[in-house]
Structure 1
Amino acid sequence: MTLTLPRRATAEFTGTALLVAAVVGSGIAATTLSPTDVGLQLLENAIATALALGALILTFGPVSGAHFNPVVSAVDWWLGRRAGTGLDTRELAAYVVAQLAGAITGTVLAHLMFGLPAAAWSRTGRGGGHLWLAEVVATAGLVLLVFALARSGRASAAPAAVGAWIGAAYWFTSSTSFANPAVTVGRAFTDTFAGIAPASVPGFVAAQLAGGLVAVAALAAWYPRAADTADDVVMPHLTRETELR
């Protein structure tokens, strides 16, 4: 029996956990270091998140592809299901469970590193059509980017490109670019700068899923054979047929 899927799932768990720890932890640090300047807090949070995301893609990309995002994994499954590439249904389920569990663990880790209680429900409401539209845009752009890079043979640029997109989208979207259902769920467990109230989570997740659908439509128009390179999303990685030794 191959060990590929357990290795990939644990990479997705750990990578997502460290990503959320970076988001939440840098938010806590920012409010401590710059308590009266929200703009500077956001800048500090965005830079730390973008840099951490790039480093984590480099670390875990060769093992699992470094999806760290259920929408990316779902689109990978959807596009590759007929071409025999990307994730199969079992792998998709393993990835999504690992990502969600990792996101919650990452919040707990960030809290413990800063001497806070392990978890606390956020009281920061984030709702409204403008925020949901922002999440559609941020998620669609992210998904389109990673599949376009793979299809055009530039997956090696993903660490820098994905980090750049998320870092920029912190600033040009009103939602500050969550763009990830797992990260959204994880951030519901922190009542700090990065938090989102549990009641606001469903709206954000729905918008992110809609963004994934927009990206699928865009890929059909601009990269109609994107499924051929689904195994290279976000980076070339272990598949059912291959295993690093």
Structure 2
Amino acid sequence: MLRALGGEFLGSALLCAVVIGSGIAGASLSPDDVGLQLFENAFATALGLGVLIVVLAPVSGAHFNPVVTLVDAALHGARPIAVATYLPVQIAGCIAGALLANAMFGLPTEWGTNDRVSGPHLLAEVVATAGLVLVIFALVRSGRSHLAAPAVGAYIGAAYFFTSSTSFANPAITVGRAFSDTFAGIAPVAVLPFIGAQLIGGVLGWLVVRLLYPHPMPAVE
């Protein structure tokens, strides 16, 4: 269990550092082009997420996301103690990753000031999170979990652009991003509404997975 928790902490920390750090770099390298900033942020996040899944999946399952952990428990009967320990570790890892990103770019750790709450943004978080759950567990339950790293990375990279919220899709990342007043940051007042939307998206994604993939299939070699 300690090994798995260490993997979740490390993966969550590095993922949040990638998200925030690439946002800071994008804003610095392309100060007059928000579209290019978003592309740089999305590209780095998609690649980094894929690599982290490949490296840490054998250690902890590479959830890095409380919604993924909860849906996995609902679908596959993980022990409640495992869920109860994963969630705070993921959140702590994301906070540590935010602090690391700020430090790497020589910026102070400050609360985010970007209030992202709006009806369209919250709807986008529902869609982004439901889609992420569908991608992950469609692969797992159809015996193609070896494709999760490229598929999840590609989905998140695309969702940066096809959702108005830029697809946080992760309550732990949402908390972490509140600790950085930068391109990828979020105001603390927006954190709970975003998490609420993500949990709704997780439930919808779980329902779709149960409908489309009612029974796990053998792994495909």
TM over 0.5: yes
Structure 1: gaps of 5 or more residues: 82-86, 233-245
Deviations 1:115-142 (A, max 9, x none): 112x210010001111111001110010
1:187 match = 177
The 3-state SS of whatever aligns with 1:224 is coil
2:32 match = 36
Check if 1:100 corresponds to 2:91.
yes
Check if 1:88 corresponds to 2:66.
no
2:112 match = 122
Fraction of identical pairs, as percent = 58
1:139 match = 129
Structure 1 vs Structure 2 CA RMSD = 1.2
Give the Å deviation of 1:152.
1.1
Q: Please tell me the residue identity of whatever aligns with 1:114.
A: F
Q: Please tell me the residue identity of whatever aligns with 1:25.
A: G
Deviations 1:183-226 (A, max 9, x none): 00000000000001000011100000000100111012111124
Give the Å deviation of 1:96.
0.5
Give the Å deviation of 1:57.
0.3
Aligned with residue 221 of structure 1, among 196, 201, 211? 211
1:203 match = 193
Check if 1:23 corresponds to 2:19.
yes
1:59 match = 55
Query: Within 1, Cα distance between the matches of 2:189 and 2:180?
Result: 14
Q: Which moved further from structure 2: 217-226 or 166-175?
A: 217-226
Using the size of structure 2 for normalisation, the TM-score is 0.97
Segments of 4+ moved more than 3 angstroms: none
User: Number of paired residues?
Assistant: 219
Using the size of structure 1 for normalisation, the TM-score is 0.87
Query: Within 1, Cα distance between the matches of 2:36 and 2:135?
Result: 27
Query: Within 2, Cα distance between the matches of 1:68 and 1:167?
Result: 16
Query: Within 1, Cα distance between the matches of 2:215 and 2:98?
Result: 37
Query: Within 2, Cα distance between the matches of 1:170 and 1:41?
Result: 11
Query: Within 2, Cα distance between the matches of 1:219 and 1:22?
Result: 29
Check if 1:156 corresponds to 2:154.
no
Give the Å deviation of 1:33.
0.4
Query: Within 1, Cα distance between the matches of 2:211 and 2:147?
Result: 23
Check if 1:72 corresponds to 2:68.
yes
Query: Within 2, Cα distance between the matches of 1:37 and 1:179?
Result: 25
Q: Please tell me the residue identity of whatever aligns with 2:185.
A: G
Give the Å deviation of 1:36.
0.5
Give the Å deviation of 1:151.
1.1
Check if 1:165 corresponds to 2:161.
no
The 3-state SS of whatever aligns with 1:196 is coil
Query: Within 1, Cα distance between the matches of 2:114 and 2:120?
Result: 16
